[in-house]
Amino acid sequence: MDIQQKFYETINKHKMIHKGDKVIVAVSGGPDSMCLLHLFLTYREQLGIYLLVAHLDHMFRGEESQGDALFVQSFCARKGLTFISDRVNVPGFIEKTGLSPEDAARRIRYDFFDRAVLNYNAQKVALGHNRNDNEETVLMNILRGAGLEGLVGINPVQGKYIRPIIDVPRDAIQNYLHKNNIKYRTDRTNFTTDYFRNKLRLELIPLIKEKYSPNLGGSLRRLSDIARYDLQYIEFAVERAWSDSVKVAKGVVSINITKFRKIHPSVRRHIIRKAIDYLTGDVKDFEYKHTISLIDFIFNAKSGNIIDLPKGVLGQKDYENFVLYLKRRNKDVCDYVYVLPLMGHLLIKETDVEIRSCIKPRDTYKLVKSNPLIAQLDCDKIKGTLTVRNRRPGDKFVPLGCMYYKKLQDFFIDNKVPKRQRKMIPIVEDSEKIVWVGGMRIDERCKITEKTKNVLLLKMKNMG
């Protein structure tokens, strides 16, 4: 295999890099990352990119890992490359969190890369995963009972992360290093069976190849390709269903339960995962069991019930909708009161809502029909100063079209306003009464009649 050609083809095939990009190459000092760095140095001018190197000492191997850092730093100094490094006590992090060594190291590593991207204004991070890594990942995910996403394995491109040697086998990398006299470091922990991936690579895969499937790697790659194509089709269906049944506003995902019920179960699962990804940035730690439990809750819970989910997400059933939001958004809006001038505007900072007011002569003003964000009131029926506040216990008004007072709480219930939203609705009142429940209904006593001379026009706008 011509590794250089495969490297260049993979970058172009997946549109990994654009001219002028700053690319951070993740280099541990091992064979894969040193091969990757050598390839980037070879094609740097042709690609038109600026290279930086990032190295993280996980502090797993004491002096050996410090030696890795010095090895990479020395190489960068000889080549005139910017060297970004950090040391993190991953064993201590494992003890504190209870995570597996692999998971803990991965989280710390990607956090380091994310910080490097921000600090150096880089566009891409290049990782040294190879073809064998992908095959191992697919097999690991099969054993874990993963869905299609897991069967796809390692994606060549994931946002800012790129993997230019994902189609290069491990033995070809070793040959390339030997042929070009490229030195590298050896991590002795790669040859122990203390970790799941190592056991799989050193014990299970050789056994399967010897006893059952000599072409195991090819079979796993074919499975990965099939899963990727099928997942692309499902994602297309998910996008259509999402557009029809889901609304997103200010960090809240709202799912129409009636429409959601009609969606294929596979697409439902992906919609839930998409919602979690939207709220938290990824779906790590949100497992199949959480998805199934949540879907059951959506269909069977009573209105108003709340479910506490992983990753700091809350779900609440609100009549015909189910909403997902982060816990930090669940705090009550503080009580507020603002004075609203008859000719002017105000911004309610607690809810990011703006209300504008003006007075129009009735004989020249054309009434607006059926817009809940606009209130048209008889100006002469407004008493004293207008104020805007959120609801208070005991609030009542006479809704337009009614003859008697109605408690605001009962009005909200009748109109199926979710509890979490009720304190966010602006209440406009004069010195005697509520004149408008913002975005919903004016008071009957302030409505425009044939005797109206001036119209008080109120317009409400969500600024968030």
For the segment 401-437, what is each residue's pLDDT rounded down to a tens digit? 999 999 999 999 998 888 878 888 999 999 899 999 9
C-alpha gyration radius of the chain:
30
Q: Check residue 330 and give its pLDDT.
A: 47
pTM attached to this predicted model = 0.69
Angle at 252 between CA 257 and CA 250, to 5 degrees: 140
Residues 4-40 as b or e (16 or more Cβ within 10 Å = b): eebbbebbeeeebbeeebebbbbbbbbbbbbbbbbbb
Q: How confident is the model over 20-30, as a mean pLDDT?
A: 96
Helix or strand run (H / E) with residue 299: helix 288-300
Domain 337-462: which CATH class?
A: alpha beta
Q: Check residue 349 and give its pLDDT.
A: 84
- Whether the CB-CB separation of 388 and 340 falls below 8 Å is answered with yes
Res. 329: pLDDT tops 60: no
Q: How confident is the model over 162-166, as a mean pLDDT?
A: 98
**First-to-last CA distance in the chain?**
54
For the segment 270-313, what is each residue's pLDDT rounded down to a tens digit? 999 999 998 888 888 888 999 999 999 999 998 878 898 988 89
For the segment 100-159, what is each residue's pLDDT rounded down to a tens digit? 888 888 889 999 999 999 999 999 999 999 999 999 999 999 998 888 999 999 999 999
Query: What is the pLDDT of the chain when averaged over all its residues?
Result: 91
Order of strands across the sheet with 157-158? Answer: 82-87, 50-57, 22-26, 124-126, 161-162, 157-158
- pLDDT-derived band at 253 (thresholds 50, 70, 90) equals very high
113 Cβ partners below 8 Å, 6+ apart? 24, 26, 54, 125, 161
Q: Check residue 285 and give its pLDDT.
A: 82
- Whether the CB-CB separation of 379 and 449 falls below 8 Å is answered with no
Of 194, 203, 27, the C-alpha closest to 100 is: 194
Percent of the chain at pLDDT exceeding 70 = 98
Res. 462: pLDDT tops 50: yes
Of 63-77, 191-205, 213-227, 320-334, minimum mean pLDDT range = 320-334
- pLDDT-derived band at 451 (thresholds 50, 70, 90) equals very high
Residue 125: what residue type? V
CA–CA gap between residue 428 and residue 336 (Å, rounded) = 12
432 Cβ partners below 8 Å, 6+ apart? 383, 384
Q: Check residue 427 and give its pLDDT.
A: 95
Res. 386: pLDDT tops 50: yes
Res. 331: pLDDT tops 60: no
Dihedral-angle region of residue 300 (phi above 0 means left; psi in -120 to 50 means alpha; beta otherwise) = alpha
- Whether the CB-CB separation of 382 and 435 falls below 8 Å is answered with yes
CA–CA gap between residue 91 and residue 60 (Å, rounded) = 7
For the segment 171-181, what is each residue's pLDDT rounded down to a tens digit? 999 999 999 99
According to DSSP, the residues that pair with 428 across neighbouring strands are 388, 436
Backbone angles phi, psi at 394, to 5 degrees: 85, 0
Q: Check residue 463 and give its pLDDT.
A: 67
Listed by start position, the domains of the chain span 3-219, 250-330, 337-462
For the segment 146-163, what is each residue's pLDDT rounded down to a tens digit? 889 999 999 999 999 999
Tokens 């980037």, residue?
Answer: 40
Q: In Å, what is the CA distance from 163 to each residue of 75, 190, 323, 421, 450?
A: 21, 20, 36, 45, 73
352 Cβ partners below 8 Å, 6+ apart? 250, 462, 463, 464
CA–CA gap between residue 300 and residue 317 (Å, rounded) = 10
What is the dotted CATH code of the domain comprising 3-219?
A: 3.40.50.620
Q: Check residue 217 and give its pLDDT.
A: 95
CB atoms within 10 A of CB 414: 10
DSSP letters of 173-236? HHHHHHHTT------GGGGSSSSHHHHIIIIIHHHHHHHT-TTHHHHHHHHHHHHHHHHHHHHH
| Dihedral over alpha carbons 199, 205, 206, 208 (to 10 degrees) | 130
In CATH terms, the fold of domain 250-330 is: 3.30.465
DSSP letters of 431-460? SSSEEEETTTEEBGGG---TT--EEEEEEE
256, with CB counted inside 10 A (0-12, 13-18, 19+), is middle
CA–CA gap between residue 450 and residue 174 (Å, rounded) = 90
- Whether the CB-CB separation of 173 and 32 falls below 8 Å is answered with yes
Token output for 214 = 């000599």
